Amino acid sequence: MAGHSHWANIAHKKGRADKKRGALFGKLSRAIIVAARNGGGDPAMNLALRYAVDKARKQSMPKDNIERAIKRGLGETDGAAFEEILYEGYGVAGVAVLCETLTDNRKRTVDEVRKIFEVYGGNMGSSGCVAWMFERKGLFAIPQSAISEEELFELALEAGADDVTTSGENFEVTCSPDVYQQVADVFETKGLPTEVSEITRIPSSVVELGLDDGQKILKLLEALEDNEDVQNVTANFSIPDDIMVELMGDDD
């Protein structure tokens, strides 16, 4: 499997969002609050807010929750002030890990994130230690059963995307964050299903893992994502398909 959306695809297939919907809504609300605070409450004029709202809607977050989050971001209701902090570190086998957070208590978050790294065999590093290995990109994973590669390639490039590759049973489309929304709109208009649709950080290279290390890195990433302050986790690893099948059946 390609490394681009490896963790995103794994999280999707494990159905982790469905298992912990309450916690997910809390994370989505924070993203909406910060986007509204930084760029205003009109999604048509604030692309970050539009992205956050669209992501919330895809997870069936109630309209009232979305509206309350926007109001909090605009200061119309009381609530904690969140700040964005990026933590960096390493997992087993030297896998680079990025952890994007929104927190109202910097000390609590850094202590908890550092502890998770330590418990699962990794270590948190200093700012900038691994971020240079990643580039922010828009990323879409589209089932190969939905469209031919030739059709998707033409459609994606016309929409402004950079590249189309294959990953397992999916096509992966990457683009600049600046054109993410227009590419997403084209796919939506064409009725193309997207298993992954997000702005993420894509590694320039990946570390291929075997069964033991693969299991360890997945547990680290899952533990990080379970933390209420963590918004997104990215890592530069790849796991062969045969090993991935075995790991996907491991719910421990």
By the 8 A CB rule, do 142 and 170 touch?
yes
Average the pLDDT over each of 5-9, 25-29, 81-85, 107-111 and give the range with the smallest value: 5-9
Options 3.40.50.2300, 3.30.70.600, 3.30.70.980, 3.40.1280.10; CATH for 133-203 is 3.30.70.980
Please determine, for residue 97, whether its predicted confidence score (pLDDT) is greater than 70.
yes
Structure tokens given for 182: 């227009």
Q: What's the pTM?
A: 0.83
d(CA 47, CA 53): 10
DSSP string for residues in 189-204: HTT---SEEEEEEEES
Phi, psi of 140 (to 5 degrees): -130, 140
Fold designation for 85-132+205-248:
Alpha-Beta Plaits (3.30.70)
Residue 197 bridge partners (DSSP): 140
What confidence category does residue 1 fall into, taking pLDDT thresholds of 50, 70 and 90? very low
- Neighbouring CB atoms inside 10 A of 17's CB total 17
SS3 122: coil
Structure tokens given for 154: 């033409």
The CATH number of the domain covering residues in 6-73: 1.10.10.200
Tell me 166's DSSP state. E
d(CA 13, CA 116): 23
Q: What is the pLDDT of residues 15-74, one digit of tens each?
A: 554 556 668 899 999 999 999 999 999 999 998 999 999 999 988 999 999 999 999 999
d(CA 170, CA 214): 21
d(CA 220, CA 24): 18
Tell me 161's DSSP state. -
123-133 average pLDDT score: 96
- Write down the domain spans for the chain: 6-73, 85-132+205-248, 133-203
Tell me 93's DSSP state. G
